[in-house]
């Protein structure tokens, strides 16, 4: 089959439910209404004027802050204040883009809200959510870069805390670089057609902007235009696509590395495993095409050969391909086969490691897999062969080492056989064993018992979700609350 035209499954961009639609609204030169002369109304009026709006203020009395604001004016060339020493009436809404009011009573708020709606003007009554068609977020201003945070009115203090953190991440110099990008955009688009060359230019621009603590020096714009010209004249094969193997970790999106997030946000196409969580995919670039190429035991799967060919064809078409694998791509992820195939086709490939499920399991349990009183090594082993049953090429006598912690991946259906074989090779039947499924995810579950009870533990955990089986005396070090199935709730 043509794997580019007929992938096993193509996943549309998934969007979690939104409390409100974030919209950035141009108000330059527009007439807006602010009814009320309080400090709260002044804050909203200042924000509107900073956007270039003509702010018409209707209040028979202004607070000292509001009077100072109007007297000082605004630095925006088109923004300004017009104070009308009267209370509002229905006639003021004609031609207005939006209307804001600070109302003392619920009846006054409803009257203003209804009048604005009748006039077809979007309306916000300050601190009265029932009379707001839109809300103001907490703002980080690096205009033309503007970041707005909303908690849907549930926790304004939380929004302010988020804003403070973002403020520390975005350098003040970003304002100058964003302005430069705005001034260059049309000229860059004239020189570079949509596709790999234009992406290469802007990604270099972004790297330069975030690595600089200073605003762009004079002449930088000309240098960047020269770079665009050089790119336009470069041979097409110079900027062919590439493949990045990315570890998605065990499921919790917060366990991704920063480098993995950057790769997801730069990808044109994402080929992802069945076990990759939707929270991780949510961090990808919205425009990226997502294609499910998962392989699960006992289920319909995409052949590894098809995945290999898909990566090659996409990269040769100039795409930046992210092969997104659950856990760490270099541990039971068949990364070696994929890298070898890409090397044979001269496709550039790099690897971004991820947190493997065994490490996440140890952190959840609060147990060191190599506690020096119990284990001098840790061993990761696949729990089944490609044909089902136990792997036949494992030295089980070596595996049955009481001074080693052993983690079995993908061993749910062979758990009973694993236990029987280890006991036969000399491990005590009473040796602690742990089974865990959905590691780091909201439905995480675990069981603890002895090696001889492993079949019982698997039956309690179930076979529907991938499980880890851990065996070793390190699990004596710290008690786990329940010896049977246990659900973990994680608060963020």
Topology of the domain covering 31-136:
Rossmann fold (3.40.50)
pLDDT for the residue 236: 56
**Domain 240-355: homologous superfamily in CATH:** Tetrapyrrole methylase, N-terminal domain (3.40.1010.10)
| pLDDT at site 488 | 31
Q: In 326-397, where do the E strands start and end?
A: 349-352, 377-382
- At 188-203, the pLDDT tens digits run 999 988 877 888 888 8
pLDDT tens by residue, 287-342: 889 999 976 555 556 889 999 999 999 998 888 899 999 999 999 988 999 999 99
Name the burial class of residue 298, with classes exposed (0-12), middle (13-18) and buried (19+) by CB atoms within 10 angstroms of its CB.
exposed
Cα 273 to Cα 252: distance, rounded to the nearest angstrom: 15
DSSP string, 310-321: HHHHHHHTT-EE
| Nearest residue to 174 via CA among 150, 143, 201, 204 | 143
> Is 393 tagged catalytic?
no
* pLDDT value at residue 40: 94
Q: Which CATH number fits domain 358-487: 3.30.950.10, 3.40.50.1980, 3.40.640.10, 3.30.1490.190?
A: 3.30.950.10
For the chain, how far is it from start to end, CA to CA, in angstroms?
Answer: 45
* Positions in the chain short of pLDDT 70: 1-16, 235-240, 295-301, 478-492
Return the closest-CA partner of residue 59 out of 89, 31, 80. Answer: 89
Write down the pLDDT at residue 235: 64
Of 102, 252, 268, 273, which residue is the catalytic one?
Answer: 273
Instruction: Give the per-residue pLDDT at 483.
Output: 40
pLDDT of residue 249: 94
Residue 15: the pLDDT is 62
* Fold observed for domain 174-235: Helicase, Ruva Protein; domain 3 (1.10.8)
Q: What length is written for the chain?
A: 492
Catalytic residue, chosen from 295, 313, 316, 460, is: 295
pLDDT at 472: 94
List, for residues 441-472, the tens digit of each pLDDT value.
Answer: 988 999 999 999 999 999 999 877 789 999 99
pLDDT for 333 equals: 85
**Residues 410/384, Cβ–Cβ less than 8 Å:** yes
Whether 295 is catalytic? yes
Name the residue ranges covered by the structural domains of the chain: 31-136, 174-235, 240-355, 358-487
pLDDT value, residue 301: 67
């Amino acid at each position: 089959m043509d794997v580019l035209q007929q992938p096993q499954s193509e996943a549309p961009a998934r969007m979690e439910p939104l409390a409100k639609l974030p919209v950035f609204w141009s108000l330059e030169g527009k007439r807006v209404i602010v009814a009320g002369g309080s400090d709260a109304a002044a804050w909203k009026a200042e924000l509107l004027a900073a956007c270039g709006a003509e702010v018409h203020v209707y209040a028979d009395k202004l607070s000292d802050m509001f009077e100072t604001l109007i007297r000082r004016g605004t630095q925006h060339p088109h923004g300004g204040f017009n104070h009308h020493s009267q209370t509002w009436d229905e006639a003021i809404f004609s031609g207005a883009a939006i209307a804001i009011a600070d109302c003392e009573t619920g009846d006054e708020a409803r009257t203003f809200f209804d009048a604005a709606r009748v006039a077809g003007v979007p309306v916000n009554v300050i601190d009265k959510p029932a009379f707001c068609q839109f809300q103001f977020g907490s703002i980080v201003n690096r205009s033309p870069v503007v970041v707005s945070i909303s908690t849907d009115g549930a926790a304004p203090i939380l929004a302010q805390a988020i804003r403070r953190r973002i403020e520390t991440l975005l350098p003040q110099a970003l304002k100058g670089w964003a302005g430069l990008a705005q001034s260059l955009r049309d000229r860059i688009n004239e020189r570079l057609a949509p596709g790999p060359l234009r992406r290469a230019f802007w990604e270099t621009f972004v790297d330069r902007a975030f690595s600089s603590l200073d605003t762009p020096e004079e002449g930088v714009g000309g240098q960047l235009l020269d770079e665009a010209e050089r790119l336009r004249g470069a041979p097409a094969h110079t900027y062919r696509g590439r493949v990045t193997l990315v570890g998605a970790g065990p499921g919790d999106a917060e366990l991704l590395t920063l480098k993995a997030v950057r790769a997801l946000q730069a990808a044109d196409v994402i080929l992802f495993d069945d076990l990759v969580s939707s929270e991780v995919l949510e961090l990808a670039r919205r425009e990226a095409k997502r294609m499910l190429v998962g392989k699960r035991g006992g289920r319909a799967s995409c052949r590894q050969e098809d995945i290999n060919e898909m990566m090659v064809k996409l990269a040769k078409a100039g795409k930046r391909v992210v092969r997104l694998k659950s856990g760490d791509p270099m541990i039971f992820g068949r990364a070696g086969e994929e890298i070898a195939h890409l090397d044979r086709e001269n496709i550039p490939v790099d690897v971004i490691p991820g947190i493997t499920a065994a490490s996440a399991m140890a952190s959840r349990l609060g147990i060191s897999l190599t506690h020096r009183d119990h284990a001098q090594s840790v061993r990761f082993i696949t729990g089944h062969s490609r044909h089902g049953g136990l792997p036949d090429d494992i030295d089980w006598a070596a595996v049955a080492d009481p001074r080693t912690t052993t983690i079995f991946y993908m061993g749910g259906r062979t758990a009973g056989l694993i236990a029987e074989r280890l006991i036969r090779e000399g491990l005590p039947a009473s040796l602690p064993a742990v089974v865990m499924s959905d590691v780091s995810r909201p439905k995480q579950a675990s069981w603890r018992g002895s090696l001889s009870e492993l079949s019982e533990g698997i039956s309690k955990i179930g076979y529907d979700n991938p499980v880890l089986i851990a065996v070793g005396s390190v699990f004596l070090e710290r008690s786990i609350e329940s010896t049977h199935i246990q659900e973990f709730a994680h608060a963020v």
